[in-house]
A and B are shown apart, each in its own frame.
Chain A
């Protein structure tokens, strides 16, 4: 048997299936899936990424070049809205064929509970099945996913939440005693941190309700008059109406002079290098990648404490500043504190870059391998 390379305890090389809603739809889960697929591949595991349906043209994510692992998509055009159940056994049979071809001891990682609906009817005998929730417990509870996770993840070997706090909430719900947690790996560690000289506050995220840009603009309206030499750069795009509404709000608050709408970026690190403060005004989050990228770039964050993932990443006062969710006045106050104090920005920014490395890709992938081994005991 071959073993995964690198220092640390040797882990056997395995076959790893990553089953997602789609191989290439836009979004954090897809980014995460291919990041993990590469990391597992680099460690000597044989990876296969499976998507249930093809992503719609306008929601497709550019994956960049040749992938070092195979991918499979079950439905070429997505499952039908009517009579979906009738089509599922045939698609699940494709999964069964893949699983049966694998040596016993393979790991099936289901990234979203929707995809699990096919995996439960496939034959996973001899393999370890792991189901994931890529959002906070509160976000699941506010949607149908709470019920669906309880239904479809009830029998998996492990359901993984993003943080211990989220896992505890799932467990305390009752009936789910198979829940553990694993954080996301750091997406990037730029060689050079931001010089933190630009008088720019940066926000990165889709322009939709979840990201709370409406609240950010209100907070900015309180801070901007105190710091006329600063600008707020908002990266991301969104639905046309949404964007128009936000721009109207910006105008009505008299902020057109200090707010720049930068559109979507494929290079968040470059955007972060121009700025000295990062702000995240989301209503809900899981284990936010943009926040990790900002910290890895040495930019101190100010964020609403909207999820366990946020308070686990940011140690309030040490490597960033938090405000209670929805409290505009305090978000503004925290921005003001950082914008007024160069030394504090440097101190928190440096600490952020150092601290965020506890989620280094290498460390996280080893935790995954340890989990595979543990679940076989």
Chain B
């Protein structure tokens, strides 16, 4: 083999004279000097070949130019010609509209020579060349997060499946020859087949994290017409043909695992791209598409459907069985993943996408969407499909009202016919604008699986846009579902899904803008990218058109544009944390402290709960004169109405903190906010510790000194730290390195209620069940068990997704007649329960306050959660389910004592042991009574039921107040 360079770069070009030089220069300007360039022109009609020859003349020995005798229409033929003439030890491909990163050849060559790989592949970046913000998107970066070498493609199926490019790679030339690797000619998607063949044939593949190739993307203009949809069908046929050839290749090499991954990717990506477009297509297109796609996916194994998102599987399946009536709505959920677009069906305690196809085993499997929890999600959180069924202009010339009608899916009949129902249409501008125009519905009624509605909206008279800033108007239908005896009402928001054919004949509506009629005077109905009805303000009258041009020019020119950007960046800077902290430190803490101002926060503002709440309520009960501020993080619902509510991190929040006389919280006000000496910080804390905390945690220990010191400064803000026992002093107080005068031995205010409940029970005998039991619908005579595990973190410190670590259906089967199980996960986690356990297993994760749940529960199942210390005060049975003790207690974090030795109840490690312990709950209770008493004495000695009172009398006694 003739080798005169380290790397040959084959640059292919067709009618691209403008961009070709940049591509060639990117190859000539490589840091690796030993690079030769072969420019292959696919018989261009412009000056591309002339430019190629000029390069060759200017760089003899480094650049050669070739030309195909006639246009091949693809990338395959010119690249093949380049490979045939290459003299480098390695070959790379470059398209005339892209560029190589400067070090690409050097990095590829180093990797190839150091590992001996036949094929080296690096990171490709899609550069959106006409994006104003310089948008760049890495191509499957997860494949290129580090250097790695594969002996076979079977080690990393995702590489073959996802990185199907031929261009971000470097091929040993004798490998291309040995494996007879050339591009197919006369078919699109030649990269897919070529890359697959290269991956399969390579004896070793090295991946490098370096950026090697910039793929220049020109963002397409406008919507596609029917004619280029025809074109798409032809492309789709090519795509399927290439996929079939790759499948055959994989089968030939026995790479069945790769085939499986490839099928999964096809359902997830390739097919979804086309399915999303379906609502906007016509009959002929749908037929042609289905005829191509169905036979291809018919060959997929049932397991493939389990690997993709449920709605993707549902859509593929509905396509497979040719059920267009359900497929088109389902495609709406592909575009709007939050949306529920089907009325669903419940059969045999499972929830299915639809009632049809359930006699087909595959259908039954794919259509089972129980795990998505549509049956338990609160109504107000559902986003239901609302299909527009009528759009008609009632008046002539766009002056009259418009009649709209539609139907909203009613999943599982959850919007009950016996509940009061109201609805209205709301028009609001997409860009921030205070204006919303509301129109009542004319009719709204239950109709089988849907709610049908009609409305007449006189947009011409009633909608008054400003005219310039509010160019696009969105439409929502808001449903108010009245509450029944027990519950509050709920509000659902829907969007109107429309198809192009619905708007055929829909005219523009005249409107009267507020600012100036000169700007825009017509409202044009259109369909948004997500398939929803919206309106756009346009100019039709000659005066309006002229003035719009003037305004647009003014907005588009430099100064106005720059000014806009500046305003935006100033706004962003004002909102940023750093600015706020600076302002807090320099300005806010100079304001006077306001006597009697108390800021409360519980769990970083996420809840109105725990000891801060107990203290707050005690202060109210005693009639202490103070000004209360509660911080909330998400939604202020559920927080007390007689306090000032401020959003955490908002400007008012910072101002109140700066001026407060007292801070009361259970976890920590933002660490970087210094507390001024005039303010007293009462840290109630939120539980005794089993797992190591503070500076006893590896993460804190490993911090560098400046970080440790900053953390310590934040901890030193505490003026009082409430403790429940000397255990807290030995663990928490030591771990946070608090001053000896800081711990306050009052007990934990939130536990006063538990001590009181225990005392009441001891006095009167029977356990009194409060209103909570009725609210949860717990029947008399059933024992209530609460499962309250702690959260588990990933290695990166994120909260891990929660899965109930035992089979709740089994639990319901075995214990449904005796027990009701309440499940309370960490507040950041979500629980989905199957319908089969309805009434027996209840999700109580969303409840702000755990104390009433503890009081209600006749027994507790937990693991390492601090809830064990609190619940023990009730002297009721406890079971410990420590299925991952070794990992949790030893490796992740470490504990202060060995749970298995000190637990005041059985410690179980498997589901069978857990269920056995549940079965013997009452029988074994007496056995653990002594160890429970011991446990309370050791870990809760100061919890005497008067903690809140003691805190209030220490800090807010009448004598102390001026």
**A residues neighboring B (CB under 8 Å):** 142, 157, 164-165, 167-168, 171-172, 174, 177-178, 180, 209-210, 212, 215, 283-284, 304, 306, 324-330, 374, 376-377
Q: Which partner residue on chain A sits nearest B113 by CB separation? A: A374
Among the listed B32, B702, B703, which residue makes an inter-chain contact with A306, where contact means beta carbons less than 8 Å apart? B702
Q: List B residues 125-155 near A (Cβ within 8 Å).
A: 145-147
A326 and B700 form a contact (CB under 8 A): yes
Q: Which of these binds chain A: B101-109, B162-170, B419-427, B474-482?
A: B101-109
12 A-B pairs with C-beta separation under 8 A: A167-B147, A172-B146, A177-B102, A177-B104, A209-B705, A283-B702, A304-B702, A306-B702, A324-B891, A326-B699, A328-B696, A374-B110
Known pairs A327-B891, A377-B32, A377-B33; list 10 more (Cβ under 8 Å).
Answer: A164-B147, A168-B147, A172-B209, A174-B211, A177-B103, A326-B699, A326-B701, A328-B698, A328-B701, A329-B890
**Contacts A164-B147, A180-B110, A329-B894; A377 near B698 (Cβ below 8 A):** no
Q: Which partner residue on chain B sits nearest A324 by CB separation? A: B698
B704 and A283 form a contact (CB under 8 A): yes
Q: Which of A167, A324, A374, A377 has the most CB of B within 10 A?
A: A377
User: Beta-carbon contacts of B567-606 to A below 8 Å, as 1s and 0s?
Assistant: 0000000000000000000000000000000000000000
**Contacts A142-B704, A177-B210; A172 near B698 (Cβ below 8 A):** no
A178 and B103 form a contact (CB under 8 A): yes
User: Beta-carbon contacts of B1-41 to A below 8 Å, as 1s and 0s?
Assistant: 00000100000000000000000000000011110000000
Q: Which partner residue on chain B sits nearest A157 by CB separation? A: B31
How many whole Å from B895's CB to the nearest CB in chain A? 9
Q: List B residues 687-716 near A (Cβ within 8 Å).
A: 696-705
Q: Which partner residue on chain A sits nearest B700 by CB separation? A: A326
Residues in chain B near residue A283, CB distance under 8 A: 702-704
B702 and A325 form a contact (CB under 8 A): yes
A172 and B145 form a contact (CB under 8 A): yes
Q: Please, how many residues of chain B have a CB less than 8 angstroms from a CB on the other chain? A: 33
Q: List B residues 81-110 near A (Cβ within 8 Å).
A: 101-104, 107, 109-110
Q: Which partner residue on chain B sits nearest A282 by CB separation? A: B702
B702 and A377 form a contact (CB under 8 A): no
Q: How far is the CA of A284 from the CA of B706 in the complex (A)?
A: 14
B704 and A209 form a contact (CB under 8 A): yes
Residues in chain B near residue A376, CB distance under 8 A: 33
Q: Which partner residue on chain A sits nearest B101 by CB separation? A: A177
B103 and A377 form a contact (CB under 8 A): no
A377 and B6 form a contact (CB under 8 A): yes
Q: How far is the CA of A376 from the CA of B6 in the complex (A)?
A: 12
A168 and B704 form a contact (CB under 8 A): no
Q: 4 shortest A-B CB distances, which residue pairs? A: A326-B698, A326-B702, A326-B701, A327-B698
Q: How far is the CA of A212 from the CA of B107 in the complex (A)?
A: 37
Q: How far is the CA of A171 from the CA of B31 in the complex (A)?
A: 16
How many whole Å from A40's CB to the nearest CB in chain B? 22
B146 and A168 form a contact (CB under 8 A): yes
Residues in chain B near residue A165, CB distance under 8 A: 146
Residues in chain B near residue A172, CB distance under 8 A: 145-146, 209
A326 and B107 form a contact (CB under 8 A): no
**Contacts A172-B146, A177-B101, A329-B894; A377 near B34 (Cβ below 8 A):** yes
How many whole Å from A171's CB to the nearest CB in chain B? 5
How many whole Å from A279's CB to the nearest CB in chain B? 16
Residues in chain B near residue A209, CB distance under 8 A: 704-705
**B residues neighboring A (CB under 8 Å):** 6, 31-34, 101-104, 107, 109-110, 145-147, 208-212, 696-705, 890-891, 894
Q: How far is the CA of A83 from the CA of B890 in the complex (A)?
A: 55
Q: Which partner residue on chain A sits nearest B138 by CB separation? A: A174
Q: How far is the CA of A304 from the CA of B109 in the complex (A)?
A: 36
Q: How far is the CA of A330 from the CA of B698 in the complex (A)?
A: 10
**Contacts A164-B147, A209-B705, A329-B890; A177 near B211 (Cβ below 8 A):** yes
Q: How far is the CA of A212 from the CA of B708 in the complex (A)?
A: 13
Residues in chain A near residue B210, CB distance under 8 A: 171, 177
How many whole Å from A265's CB to the nearest CB in chain B? 25
Q: Which partner residue on chain A sits nearest B891 by CB separation? A: A330
How many whole Å from B537's CB to the nearest CB in chain A? 41
Q: Which partner residue on chain B sits nearest A242 by CB separation? A: B705
Residues in chain A near residue B701, CB distance under 8 A: 215, 326, 328
B101 and A325 form a contact (CB under 8 A): no
How many whole Å from B5's CB to the nearest CB in chain A? 10
How many whole Å from B137's CB to the nearest CB in chain A? 13
Q: How far is the CA of A372 from the CA of B696 in the complex (A)?
A: 48
Q: How far is the CA of A327 from the CA of B893 in the complex (A)?
A: 7
Q: Which partner residue on chain B sits nearest A178 by CB separation? A: B103
How many whole Å from B116's CB to the nearest CB in chain A? 15
Residues in chain A near residue B212, CB distance under 8 A: 177
Residues in chain B near residue A210, CB distance under 8 A: 704
Residues in chain A near residue B891, CB distance under 8 A: 324, 327, 330
Q: How far is the CA of A209 from the CA of B32 in the complex (A)?
A: 43
Q: Which of A165, A168, A306 has the most CB of B within 10 A?
A: A168
Q: How far is the CA of A165 from the CA of B894 in the complex (A)?
A: 28
Residues in chain A near residue B890, CB distance under 8 A: 329-330
Residues in chain A near residue B146, CB distance under 8 A: 165, 168, 172
Q: Which partner residue on chain B sits nearest A168 by CB separation? A: B146
How many whole Å from A210's CB to the nearest CB in chain B? 8
Residues in chain A near residue B31, CB distance under 8 A: 157, 178
Residues in chain A near residue B698, CB distance under 8 A: 324-328
Among the listed B110, B209, B704, which residue makes an inter-chain contact with A171, where contact means beta carbons less than 8 Å apart? B209
Residues in chain B near residue A164, CB distance under 8 A: 147
Residues in chain A near residue B6, CB distance under 8 A: 377
How many whole Å from B522's CB to the nearest CB in chain A? 47
How many whole Å from A362's CB to the nearest CB in chain B? 19
**Contacts A168-B146, A174-B211, A177-B101; A326 near B697 (Cβ below 8 A):** yes
Q: How far is the CA of A164 from the CA of B208 in the complex (A)?
A: 11
How many whole Å from B135's CB to the nearest CB in chain A? 14
Q: Which partner residue on chain A sits nearest B895 by CB separation? A: A329
Q: Which of B147, B698, B700, B703 has the most CB of A within 10 A?
A: B698
Q: How far is the CA of A209 from the CA of B104 in the complex (A)?
A: 41
Q: Which partner residue on chain A sits nearest B889 by CB separation? A: A329
Q: Which partner residue on chain A sits nearest B136 by CB separation? A: A174
B894 and A327 form a contact (CB under 8 A): yes
Residues in chain B near residue A324, CB distance under 8 A: 698, 891
Residues in chain B near residue A215, CB distance under 8 A: 701
Residues in chain B near residue A174, CB distance under 8 A: 211
How many whole Å from B265's CB to the nearest CB in chain A? 24
Q: How far is the CA of A145 from the CA of B696 in the complex (A)?
A: 30
Q: How far is the CA of A181 from the CA of B207 in the complex (A)?
A: 16
Q: How far is the CA of A142 from the CA of B210 in the complex (A)?
A: 23
Q: How far is the CA of A324 from the CA of B704 in the complex (A)?
A: 16
Q: How far is the CA of A377 from the CA of B210 in the complex (A)?
A: 19
Residues in chain A near residue B101, CB distance under 8 A: 177
Residues in chain A near residue B696, CB distance under 8 A: 328
Q: Which partner residue on chain A sits nearest B146 by CB separation? A: A168
How many whole Å from B808's CB to the nearest CB in chain A? 34
Q: How far is the CA of A164 from the CA of B114 in the complex (A)?
A: 12
How many whole Å from A246's CB to the nearest CB in chain B? 13
Residues in chain B near residue A374, CB distance under 8 A: 110
How many whole Å from A62's CB to the nearest CB in chain B? 29
How many whole Å from B926's CB to the nearest CB in chain A? 36
Q: How far is the CA of A283 from the CA of B34 in the complex (A)?
A: 44
How many whole Å from B805's CB to the nearest CB in chain A? 24
Q: How far is the CA of A142 from the CA of B891 in the complex (A)?
A: 26
Q: Which partner residue on chain B sits nearest A210 by CB separation? A: B704
Q: How far is the CA of A122 from the CA of B145 in the complex (A)?
A: 35
Q: How far is the CA of A210 from the CA of B145 in the complex (A)?
A: 29
Q: How far is the CA of A171 from the CA of B569 in the complex (A)?
A: 30
How many whole Å from B139's CB to the nearest CB in chain A? 14
How many whole Å from B4's CB to the nearest CB in chain A? 13
Residues in chain B near residue A327, CB distance under 8 A: 698, 891, 894
B700 and A168 form a contact (CB under 8 A): no
Residues in chain B near residue A329, CB distance under 8 A: 890, 894
Q: How far is the CA of A306 from the CA of B699 in the complex (A)?
A: 12
Q: Which of B109, B147, B697 has the most CB of A within 10 A?
A: B147
